[in-house]
Structure 1
Amino acid sequence: MAITKRYSLRIAAVGVISAASVVLAGTVASAATPAASGATVVKATAAKAGITAKPSVTSVKAWELFRVTGTATGLKPGSKMVLQQKQGAKWVSLPASVPLNAKGSYSLGVKLGIKGKNDLRIVSGSTASPVFNVTVR
């Protein structure tokens, strides 16, 4: 009889500890998940990448230096900002590039030699700025 009493006491103690563990685990789980505790869940949406570009002039002499400045959103600082020129039906990357600074802006010095109206844009990866024009005379 003494053995069964100790045995049943041990089973009861294990049962109490198990129940406490389940309650404690449930409390920890509800604290870890904001939705379960009634807190508002805010989903982080990735900002869509975008680039702006503005030339310092709209008309230059051949090989005259001008600047293209702008900002970029959704791109990492240090991303390579490349100037492209439309030649026929193709966009051609020119040997003019600059890294995006920590504030998300850039300034690029440019010299063009193809006379006439030049369609240009700034590209970084698959993100491109709207097309802007500079006339070389």
Structure 2
Amino acid sequence: MISKRRSLRTAVVGTLGVASLALAGTAVAAPPSSHSAPSLPAAHTAPAAKAGITAKPSVSSVRAWQQFRVTGTTTGLTAGSKVTLQQKQRGTWVSLPATVPVARNGSYSMRVKLGLKGRNDLRMVSGATASPVFNVTVR
């Protein structure tokens, strides 16, 4: 009896996962069927939330390897999603080993230390979603 309940829960979670993907803008095609269910009117479908990330450093200038914080909020990302700090190096965005999960309210906070002296162009990313670029000067 218990194993049947668990398998039912798993099936429901799996179905909700597919619905979430469809709402996130991923196309999910169903095979054609002569017994298809009637579609819902447009008023009953939820629009997909556009993902977004904000980022704000606690300082604009630091000494090399001095700790500072980057905080921000996200929209359209689920709680627990990872946001990663990227640094522009020689014209290419490089992911740094600095990743934190998004909280239930969509916020995040990360402690950072940089050693590359000069102006550092930084951004936060999660998948294909990126924050606007922000700068921290390391002296």
In 1, distance between residues paired with 2:118 and 2:92?
A: 17
- Root mean square deviation of aligned Cα: 1.6
Q: Pick from 38, 41, 47: which aligns with 1:45? A: 47
> Out of 124, 131, 134, which is 1:132 matched to?
134
Q: Give the helix-richer structure, 1 or 2.
A: 1
Structure 1 unaligned segments of length 5 or more: list them. 1-31
Which entry has the higher C-alpha Rg, 1 or 2? 1
- The Cα offsets for residues 18-44 of structure 1, whole Å up to 9 and x where unpaired, read as xxxxxxxxxxxxxx9876xxxx93431
Cα deviation for residue 89 of structure 1 reads 1.3
Q: Distance in 2 between matches of 1:121 and 1:132?
A: 6
Identity of matched residues, %: 69
TM-score after normalising by structure 1: 0.70
Partner of 2:43, secondary structure, is: coil
Q: How many residues align?
A: 102
Instruction: Give the structure 1 partner of residue 117 of structure 2.
Output: 115
Paired with 1:34 and 1:115, the residues of 2 have a C-alpha distance of 57
TM-score, normalization by structure 2: 0.69
Q: Which amino acid aligns with 2:114?
A: L
- Written as runs of structure 1 = structure 2, the 5 A alignment for 1:7-46 is 41-46=43-48
Hey, what does 2:17 align to over in structure 1?
none
One of 97, 100, 106 as aligned partner of 2:102: 100
> Which consecutive unaligned segments of at least 5 residues does structure 2 have?
1-37
- Partner of residue 58, structure 2: 56
How far does the alpha carbon of each residue in 1:71-118 deviate from its partner, in whole angstroms, 9 at most, with x for none? 000001101110000001110000111000111000000000000000
Which residue of the partner structure matches residue 29 of structure 1? none
